[in-house]
Amino acid sequence: MRIVALVPGGIGDQILLFPTLDDLKRSLPSAQIDVVTEPRSKAAYRVSKSVHQLLTFDFQDRNSLADWGNLVGMIRDREYDVAIYLGQSWLVSCLLWLTGIPTRIGYQGKGSAFFTNPVPFKQSQYIAAMYHDLLTGLGIQSTCPDLTVNIPLADIDWAEKEQKRLGVHETGYILISAGSSQLDQSLGANIYPVENWRQIIQNFRSKQPEMPVVLVKQAEDELVTSLESSLDVKITSPDDIGKLAAMIGGANLMLCTDSTPMHLSVAVQTYTIALFGDTEPAKLLPKSDKFLAIKSPTGRIADISPNTVLQKVWGG
């Protein structure tokens, strides 16, 4: 059986699909599962264990009729038996119908007339579980498994060497992902202010001076640059998602904003405290004592006080 999943959205959306892909492969071990995702998100599949082939299409671009036609042709030529669509676009649903794929699965709502097997759209739940609901369109009734990733051995080796370089291999470390690169800001991400991070790190240094604090530095990350210049912190700059996941897996605590590193932290089962602005945490974090959310009372992440974060860290 040949299956294709069309997955618009960012890297986080792709990672939240992993439990569905893994359960699909478990239920149909001989199936070949391909994914169509956006160019900006293909890096996520470095840590996927269930995808055979990755295809790219920019669903968010101003695509011409020829572009959409190429997508239909690309999918039709591969003669898939099943298509699974995670979006809510009437146009994409119609295009899937034009491919002639015999089994087409998507959510009830916009364009569901073009699906052979529409499933209820229960959007208030954890998004990974919402994606997993699509498998009921194939008669798979299992519970959504935990989110996991498959980190390449080369990335694990890199992380071990990086921890030794930083001097944290034996001591363990607190890892902070501030979510503050220019890309984050251009996408409208809620940025937690540098002064708030500074207060939190200074508190760590005073209460547990023997525990290193490591900051994840992304490209053009002025916030981390500012913290690096004024505090006793260590900096790591993983250049792909596998290395980042491996570094998160070695941490004692992950402190982050609502972001891709948060999903990776869930996947590697690192104790996580995540800051949320106006997003509902229950949709992005599974229920677990290991994954704690702090939601802004105003919807602005900047309005979460450092004391609130520290109370959660120290169990107050």
pLDDT in tens, 157-189: 999 999 999 999 888 999 999 875 544 444 445
Q: Which residues pair with 257 in a beta bridge?
A: 275
CATH level 3 topology of 2-138? Rossmann fold (3.40.50)
The alpha carbon of 106 is separated from its chain's Cα centroid by a whole number of angstroms, namely 21
CA-to-CA distance for 298 and 114, rounded, in angstroms? 40
Question: Taking residues 275-293, what's their average pLDDT?
Answer: 95
Q: Convert the pLDDT of each residue in 100-150 to its tens digit.
A: 999 999 999 988 999 999 999 999 999 999 999 999 999 999 999 999 999
Q: Please tell me whether the overall predicted TM-score, pTM, comes out greater than 0.85 for this model.
A: yes
Q: Convert the pLDDT of each residue in 208-241 to its tens digit.
A: 999 999 999 987 778 888 888 778 889 999 999 9
- CATH 3.40.50.2000 residue spans of the chain: 2-138, 153-313
| Percent helix / strand / coil, the chain, rounded to 5 | 45, 15, 40
End-to-end CA distance of the chain: 53
Question: Residue 315: pLDDT band by 50, 70, 90 thresholds?
Answer: confident
CATH level 3 topology of 153-313? Rossmann fold (3.40.50)
CA-to-CA distance for 264 and 287, rounded, in angstroms? 16
Contacts for 256 with CB less than 8 Å, ≥ 6 apart: 176, 177, 178, 179, 262, 265, 272, 273, 274, 275
Contacts for 23 with CB less than 8 Å, ≥ 6 apart: 132, 135, 140, 142, 144, 145
Q: Convert the pLDDT of each residue in 40-93 to its tens digit.
A: 999 999 999 999 999 999 999 999 999 999 999 999 999 999 999 999 999 999
